[in-house]
Structure 1
């Protein structure tokens, strides 16, 4: 019996198609931009039927929401790795490392970051409940970490954890956006910028101030 003709297209079994779609979406966003993205293009690139992606994502918007969620998951893991690496080294050292990690993540993962904090995306009013919950959870976790630090005497007791977290995120996002948009072009001084920002933030947190 003759063998069926071989195909150059890679076949994905049901169990890993969703992740394959997410990975290919991230690649398209990174290399070609959102205008090149469609569920039909994804199906063609992955060698599956045109309807297969719809088993996992209702439309392009739900796919982009899933990419943003994955971005937050990657970001959380990155920051946790930094905390684990610098555990016990002191608040100022950790703050400096976290600032650097945040800016590095934004610069090296723009395909995720643009969706995680994209103004047009968030103003669309079409975000999935899980994305909203995930995004809010990131800020909530930082607030809880600050409060635990205050209870242990590692963070100044008078710091308002909510307001500081908002200021922290706003500051780092602003710098990241300026870097991504090409306003800050002197990346050779980025380390100095990170360290100056971290010193400013730690000045507010230092329990000895």
Structure 2
């Protein structure tokens, strides 16, 4: 198995449907085993200062029912916060429809199963139709988020937190990884569509 295949196999990908505040949504689900205790993983995603070290420093009323903003203009509301197992936020960027991002954590034997669920009513958010478009999509983009989280937990703190990025270089190792992941998400989407043909 190649190094790229090993990276691709770290994530279990699936689709589903979910009712969110914006309406009946398509949901992408990615799960990964992260070799750190649940409390440490929870702190990395729920503690304002730690989140600012590896993503971006949020501002706002950071408690259930409160609202937040990120430096790139992303914003939303904290819908559920049941530490250290569940965090759900609404999430919007620019003129896009409001989506929901949910993090499920399950601890076992000193490691954490991390499941990210991203639900949106926006069409075509999960994969790109044309390779090399230079834009992150829901599937490959949120997998990059998991990569940065794992790097942070391993002690590799970025000099400049990347934020929630949606543009990538058109060439290079990161672009190749993005396209390989995007292809996996296309296959996952095709399988889901086949299962749900009327």
TM-score, structure 1 as length reference: 0.23
- Indicate the structure (1 or 2) with the bigger Cα radius of gyration: 1
Q: Which has the higher strand share?
A: 2
Q: Which has the higher helix share?
A: 1
